[in-house]
Every structure is written in C-alpha cells, then in structure tokens.
Amino acid sequence: MDLKKALSIEDLRVIARKRVPRFVFDYVAGGSEDEVTLQGNRESFERLRFRPRTLVDVSQRSLHTTILGGPSRLPVIAGPVGLLGLSWRHGDMEMAHAAAAAGVPYGVSTVSMDSLEDIAREAGGRLWFQCYVFRERAITEALIRRAAAAGYETLIITSDFPVAGKRERDLRSGLLPANQLTLRTKLDILLHPRWLASVATQRPRFVNLERELGAGRDAASFLTSNMFDPALDWDDFRRFRDLWKGKLLLKGVLRAEDAARAVACGADGVVLSNHGGRQLDGAISGMDALPEVVREIRGRASIIVDGGVRRGSDIAKALACGAEAVILGRAVNYGLAAGGAAGVTRALDILRDEFDRTLALNGCCRPADLSPDLITTV
C-alpha cells in the first residue's frame, strides 16, 4: 500500500503488519500478560467526548506550542522505543531525521541500535535521552554524561521497570528473554524477504552499552541480567538531578503524590505512563491519572502523557485535560515499520491534520485554547 494512501495510524499499522515478520510486529504492538492495560490506554481516550464551542472564528490557526520550555510545531514527542532497528534499518536514525524535519522532540532509548552521538551528529533536532537505570550505576552515569556531551537537552529517568513485565508475545516468539527465536519465528522471517535483505543484515546491537562494557562483555547478556534495578529509589533520582544540568523528567508516574515528590526532588516535569501497557497489567492509564496530577502540580512542572494515542483528537483530549504534550510510541513506530523515515513523516502528517481539524471543530485556534470545559465523560 502506498504510504500516501494511508489515512490513519490504523492504516499504517496494517502496512507494518504485512511488511515485518510477526515477532517484530508483536514486539511493537504487544503488551504484558492479558494486555488489559494496553486496551485500557485506548479506552481512556474513548470514554471522553467533546463539548465544542460554536460560532468561533477559526480561520487563523497555529499548531505550534512549547514543550519543556522549547518550541515544537506540534504538541507531541516521538517517544523512546527500543530496538527500532528491527522495524527498519537504522530505525533510530530514521526516526530522529523524521522528528527533526517535523520540528518535534525525539526521545532516544538507552537500547537504541544507533549511538547517541551518531544520532545527534547526523539528525540533530531537539533530542531527549530516555535512561534505564542499571545495577552498575557507573554505566548509567557514563551514558548520562555522553548524552550531555552530545547536546541532548532532556533526560528521562524511567522508573516503572524494577522488574520486566511478562510480555507473552515476545516469550512465544523467542525474542525474549535472550533473542532465541523459535523455529516458527525463523520460518516466518523467510516469508519476508525484503525485511530479511535489509533489516536482518544489521545484527541487533546495543551500541550505547557496548562502548561502556568494553571487550569481553556482551551487551545482550548484560541487559538480560543487569538491566533492571529494583533498588532504584528517590535518593537515586536526586543524585541524577545533581548529575544532569538540563531538563529532567520522571517517566512512569501514575500517582499525584509521586508527581509532587518528583517536582520536590527537582524534576522539570513528569511523564504519566504505564510503559505502553508493557509492564504492570491492570494499571491505570496516564490519561486516568492526569486529572489528579494536574490538580497537584500544574503550574509548577510540565505534565506529559503517553499510551494509546492514535488520533489527533487524542492529542486534543490530553491537552484539554491539562497535559502539555503527548508522547507517541506505537503510532510513529507503525509508521517506521511501514516505511522508514517516510512512514514516520506520514504518521506525523496524519496526526497533524487530525489535530488541526479537531481544534477547528472545537472552536479553537491554537493548542492553548483547549480547556477542560470542552471535555465530558460518557
């Protein structure tokens, strides 16, 4: 299917499903256990309805906004997703180029398959670094210093990973726990020769970690054994605040008191997130947590929501309820898997058009016009 004929993120999802092997698609699309949280992320948007204003002059509209004190052409961030190189060759770089061209921030994952430095040098734009905290803190701190040296403006500390969620799709395919693909998965790969010829020639490598681990230590094995630190606590977060001089976000917040504590510890904002439904199954969504967090910290720090964004109207609902912006995960990853940077660009164009239409149909001319009185719950 021609990318230009894709009218929705769902259309891009369908293209991606055909283009990549099943294990890659399941890695992108799947959640943990029964995927209740994954489904709930969408339902939290679907429960909200608009109460639009009428007879408002909306002939002059602008989608430009400010996120964490910097300009963005759309109130979205292309979010951090690991292993983008499985969806498209040099997927992290492709995502970064598309985000920079669109004028929106891009969060680079710790487990990207292109290096922090290469992305900054070749793609530029507003770059954020999403950091997992390892038991070996020296490695975490080295990565943070490298991000600062490369010009990354924002550090995202991910807090909702004390242990790995049970992602049954990945366990069945053999992608987890240690990339031991099953025979069925290998046969499916052979049915995708274009993917095999391009992506599969780039062996998955966690290049950011390889440099810190040095010779004789395998990054994949390190991640399996050392990636998650269940001892991570507020004292650690304060130390990261001392180490990092740029903007700092805490990701994985779903409670108002945790949001307030993050701000007290020096966070510039919080990301309301359940890790895209990939960790605790049965958790509330970021949108569910948004009202109480807005009451607690609005005006003192940025509030960003992720999980379940598939339409421009979802972006508008989040902003109307008090978020500064949303993080896009699967929405742009489906675009990447469908067509590389061009697919990401198509995903952002679709969402931009939908968001603009939603603004106009609600009697709004800019993102700041979106307000709680425009929303009701069914």
CA dihedral 226, 158, 231, 138 (to 10 degrees): 60
Q: Using CA atoms, how far apart are residues 351 and 332, in angstroms rounded to an integer?
A: 10
Are the C-beta atoms of residues 224 and 243 closer than 8 Å to each other? no
Give yes or no: 275 in active site. yes
Phi then psi dihedrals of residue 298, to 5 deg: -60, 135
DSSP track, 132-150: PPPSSHHHHHHHHHHHHHT
Q: Using CA atoms, how far apart are residues 378 and 376, in angstroms rounded to an integer?
A: 7
Coil vs helix vs strand at 270: strand
Q: Using CA atoms, how far apart are residues 296 and 373, in angstroms rounded to an integer?
A: 19
Calculate the CA 138 to chain-centre distance.
25
* Set 64, 90, 97, 275: catalytic member: 275
Q: Using CA atoms, how far apart are residues 237 and 201, in angstroms rounded to an integer?
A: 39
Q: Which residues are designated catalytic?
A: 275
